[in-house]
Structure 1
Amino acid sequence: MKNILITGGAGFIGSNLALKLIEKGYKITVLDNLSKQIHGDNPEITSTLYRSIKDKVTFIEGTVTSREDWKKALENQNIIVHFAAETGTGQSMYCIEKYTEVNIKGTAIMLDLLANNKYSVEKVIIASSRSIYGEGKYEHPKLGIVYPSHRNEKNMLEGDFEVRYKDSEILKLLPTDEESKIHPSSVYGITKQNQEQMVMTVCPTLGISPVSFRYQNVYGPGQSLSNPYTGILSIFSTQIRNNNGIQIFEDGKETRDFVFIDDVVDATVRGIEKEEANGNIFNVGTGVATDVLTVANSLISAYKIDVAVTITGKFRLGDIRHNYADLTKISSLLGFEPKVLFADGIKKFSSWVLEQEIQEDKLTKSLEEMKMKGLLK
C-alpha cells in the first residue's frame, strides 16, 4: 500500500481520514502544527483528535510555512492530502497576512519543492471550499443563469438580506456546480481559490495527478467545540450547553449544505484511490440546503436545554447568503452519494457532544473582535 502524507492531519477532517486510511492498510504521515485555537493548550490532554492518531501515524509537529518541515514530510510519500490551512470566513477578513501566509505560501512551498526536487509523489489532493463560489448560482426571471456579486451593505442594514441582481430582481437559488463562476467574497475564499488553482496548474506539469475537493460545511463528532471562529454547529452547541441564548445573524433563513464527516472521508478516499478522479475538481456535500434557524432549533431539541433564540438582524461582511452543492459530477465519476441525512447527523453529533466537557463560550470575544474591525454590522 502507498505512503500518504496528510498535512493538517491532526485536524477534524484530517484525523478522521487518517484513521480510515490506516484501516485500509495505508502508511500515514501527518504534518501538523497543533494549533492552540483547535487543539487547546496541551494537545496530549486537550485534543481528542490528536490523541486519536498520535500512536498510529508518523507524526511531524511542524508548519507548512517551513521549507524544512516540508522536506521532512515529503520523503518517500506517494500521495499528499493537503488539508493544513487557516479556516474561517470572518477571521480571514482581519488576519489577512496570516491566512495568506499559511494557505497560499504554504501551498507554494510544497509545489516549489516538488518542482525542483525528486520525490515519489504521484497524486496531490487539495482541500478547496464552497467559499470560492461567493454568492453562488441563481436564476434571474428574464436573464436566466446569473452569478450575483456581494450583497449590498445598505440593503442589509435595512433588513433586506436576499440576494439580488443589478436590477434588484429577486433571484431563484440553484445548486452550485463545478463550472459555476468563481468569485469568493472573503479572504479565506480567495486563498482557497489560489490553493486550488496552483495545485491544478502546477501538478500536471510535474507528472503528478491533482484532485480538488470543494467541501461544503463539514460537521460531526470530533470537531472543535472551543473554536469560536468556525463551525456553526459547534458554536451553537457550546452556547446551548452553557445555557446562553443563541444569537442568529441576519434573519435566520440563510442556508448552508451541511455534510457529515463520514461522507467527506468517503469522498476523499475515492479521490485517492480512483484514477477517474485525476485532474478533476469535485463538490462534496449533500445537495440539500438547511437554514441556520433549523440548525439552532434541532440542536436545542437534541440537548433538551431550552435557551432563547434571538434573530438579531446583524451580519458579517464576507458572509454569503446561501449555497448548496450540485453533486452530479462526483456521483457520475466517483460513484459518491452522501449517506447521512442532516437529521441523523445531528443525532450522532449531539450524542458525541454530550459526552464531552462543556467548553467555555468564547463567541462574544470573537464577535467583539469583528465589531472593532468594522466587519460586524
Structure 2
Amino acid sequence: MNILISGGAGFIGSSLALRLVELGHRVTVLDNLLSQVHGREAAQHSYLYQRIQKKVSFVYGDVTKREDWEKCLAGQQVVVHLAAETGTGQSMYKIAHYTSVNMLGTAQLLDILTNKRDHSVTKVLIASSRAVYGEGKYKTEAGEIIYPNSRKKEDLDCGRFEIAGEVPNQKLKVVATDELSKLHPTSVYGLTKLYQEQLLTTVCPTIGITPVVMRFQNVYGPGQSLQNPYTGILSIFSSLIRQGRPINVFEDGLESRDFVYIDDVVEATIRGILHNDENGGVFNVGVGVPTTVLEVAKTLMQHYGKEVKLNISGNYRLGDIRHNFADISHIQSVLGYKPKVMFSEGIGRFAAWVKEQNVMVSDYDGSLAEMADRGLLKQ
C-alpha cells in the first residue's frame, strides 16, 4: 500500500516507517524536523531523520498548513497521523501552540479529505494517548468503580500525592483503564488528543473513511530523543546519569506509568493499519503493567553502572497524573496484539542503545525553570 506518516521522522514514526518498508509498503513521510526533538541542523545530525532518509519519500512540511498536506496526499491509501506536540507540562503554558499543532493539524487533514473527493485514502489512524483518561480508573473497597478528578493543589502541597476518595479515610485501588473508561484529561495536551479522536471518529464515517485510534501508553526504546527536556523520563534520566548529575524525582517517586516498548507499538500500529473492519476502533496500546518512576531511575543506574543522587523532592507539575496503566484485553481480542517486550528486558535494550550514543546535554533545568516561572511546577 501507499502509506503517509505525518511525524514520520519522529521516534515512533521513523520506527514504523522502516518496518512498513521492510514489509513492502511504499511510505511517504511528512515532518517539520522539530529542533526540540531532532536538534539544530536536523538534516545533517538527526539520528531519527537519517535512519529513514533514503528509504522513504520525504516531504518537509507543517501539518497546520493545508498546502503541505496536499503535497503528499495524492495516491495515498492510508494516513497515519502521528505529528503532534507531546509534552504534558509544556502544554500547560504553550496552549495556543499545542492547540494549533494537534487540533488544527488534524482538522486540516480531515478538511482536505472531506472536500477533495478525488483522493484515494480509505483509512486514517491517529496516535492518541493515555492522557485522555486523566487520573484513570479506581475501585473502592466496596468494589465501586470511580473516576477521580484532578488532585487538589492543597493536597499536593502537603505531600498527599495518592488519589483520595470522596469519603473520609476511603481507600482506593488503581485498576487498569479500559477503552470505555471516562475520558477527562487533566492537561492541555490530553485535551488536544481527545479532540483529535473526536474529530476523527466524527468526520471519517461520514466520508467513507475508516477511523482507527491508538491510545499509546508511555512509549520508550532505541531512537527516543535524548535531548528533548520536556518528555520521556527514560531519556531525561539517562542523560542526567551519564553526566553524573542528580535526578530530581517528582512527588515521592511512587507515581507509576505503563511503559510500552517501541517494537510492540509498531506491531500494534501495523495491525491497526491492516485490520479489515470498516468501522475501525479505539485501542489501548500498552503492556498492562505499572512501573514506578523510582524503579525506572534505579534500574537505569544499574544498567549504566553509575550511581547518582536521587533527590525525592516532593516537587510536582500541574497536569500530571498519579497512576495509569492500560487494560489491553480489547486490542488483544480484536487485533491479536500481545506485547512481547516487558519492561525488564526493554529497559536493558534501551540502555544498551544509549551507551552507543554521544552524551546529550538537554536543557532540562531550563525546562523546569520555565514551568516554575509560570506557577506550573511546585519546587
The interval holding the TM-score normalised by the smaller chain is: over 0.9
Question: Displacement of 1:278 after TM fit?
Answer: 4.2
Overall identity of the aligned pairs, in %: 57
Alignment pair present for 1:172 and 2:170: no
Query: CA–CA distance in 1 between the matches of 2:23 and 2:301?
Result: 37
Residue in 2 that maps onto 1:129: 129
Contact 2:226 2:362 in 1 (8 A): no
| Matching residue's letter, 1:50 | Y
SS at structure 1 position matched to 2:316: coil
Contact 1:70 1:110 in 2 (8 A): yes
SS at structure 2 position matched to 1:283: strand
Question: Displacement of 1:276 after TM fit?
Answer: 4.2
Question: Displacement of 1:274 after TM fit?
Answer: 1.3
Question: Displacement of 1:142 after TM fit?
Answer: 3.8
Contact 2:5 2:80 in 1 (8 A): yes
Query: Equivalent residues in 2 for 1:78-117 (5 A)?
Result: 78-117=77-116
SS at structure 1 position matched to 2:317: coil
Query: CA–CA distance in 2 between the matches of 1:155 and 1:38?
Result: 34
Question: Displacement of 1:330 after TM fit?
Answer: 0.2
SS at structure 1 position matched to 2:55: coil
Residue in 1 that maps onto 2:70: 71
| Matching residue's letter, 1:49 | L
Query: CA–CA distance in 2 between the matches of 1:23 and 1:142?
Result: 51
- The two structures, once aligned, show a CA RMSD in angstroms of 0.9
Question: Displacement of 1:44 after TM fit?
Answer: 2.7
**Deviation per CA, 1:260-297, whole angstroms, max 9, x where unpaired?**
00000000000001114842100000000000000000
Residue in 1 that maps onto 2:22: 23
Contact 2:80 2:126 in 1 (8 A): yes
| Matching residue's letter, 1:146 | I
Contact 1:277 1:334 in 2 (8 A): no
| Matching residue's letter, 1:24 | L
Query: Equivalent residues in 2 for 1:293-312 (5 A)?
Result: 293-312=294-313
Residue in 1 that maps onto 2:2: 3
Find runs of 4+ consecutive structure 1 residues off by over 3 angstroms: none
Residue in 1 that maps onto 2:256: 255
**Deviation per CA, 1:284-326, whole angstroms, max 9, x where unpaired?**
0000000000000000000001111110001000000000000
| Matching residue's letter, 2:303 | A
Question: Displacement of 1:166 after TM fit?
Answer: 2.4
**Deviation per CA, 1:26-62, whole angstroms, max 9, x where unpaired?**
0000000000000111113321110010111110000
Residue in 2 that maps onto 1:45: 44
| Matching residue's letter, 2:141 | P
Question: Displacement of 1:73 after TM fit?
Answer: 1.5
Query: CA–CA distance in 2 between the matches of 1:203 and 1:270?
Result: 19
Query: CA–CA distance in 2 between the matches of 1:320 and 1:369?
Result: 20
Query: CA–CA distance in 2 between the matches of 1:277 and 1:205?
Result: 12
State the aligned residue count: 376
Contact 1:242 1:361 in 2 (8 A): no
Residue in 2 that maps onto 1:219: 220
In structure 2, runs of 5+ residues without a counterpart are none
Query: CA–CA distance in 2 between the matches of 1:21 and 1:263?
Result: 14
Query: CA–CA distance in 1 between the matches of 2:23 and 2:143?
Result: 49
Query: CA–CA distance in 1 between the matches of 2:45 and 2:350?
Result: 19
Between stretches 158-167 and 338-347, larger displacement belongs to 158-167
| Matching residue's letter, 1:248 | V
SS at structure 1 position matched to 2:377: coil
Residue in 2 that maps onto 1:332: 333
Residue in 2 that maps onto 1:230: 231
Contact 1:211 1:277 in 2 (8 A): no
Query: CA–CA distance in 1 between the matches of 2:285 and 2:336?
Result: 12
Contact 1:271 1:277 in 2 (8 A): no
| Matching residue's letter, 1:322 | H
Question: Displacement of 1:141 after TM fit?
Answer: 2.4
In structure 1, runs of 5+ residues without a counterpart are none
Residue in 1 that maps onto 2:144: 144
SS at structure 2 position matched to 1:318: coil
| Matching residue's letter, 1:31 | L
Residue in 1 that maps onto 2:320: 319
| Matching residue's letter, 2:46 | S
Contact 2:135 2:186 in 1 (8 A): yes
Query: CA–CA distance in 2 between the matches of 1:187 and 1:369?
Result: 17
| Matching residue's letter, 2:201 | M
Residue in 1 that maps onto 2:375: 374
Contact 2:139 2:145 in 1 (8 A): yes
Query: CA–CA distance in 2 between the matches of 1:166 and 1:116?
Result: 49
SS at structure 1 position matched to 2:251: coil
Contact 1:214 1:284 in 2 (8 A): yes
Residue in 1 that maps onto 2:120: 120
Question: Displacement of 1:200 after TM fit?
Answer: 1.0
Alignment pair present for 1:182 and 2:183: yes
For the structure 1 residues 135 and 122, does the alpha-carbon distance in structure 2 shift closer, same or farther, using more than 3 Å as the test? Answer: same
Give TM-score, length-normalised by structure 2: 0.98
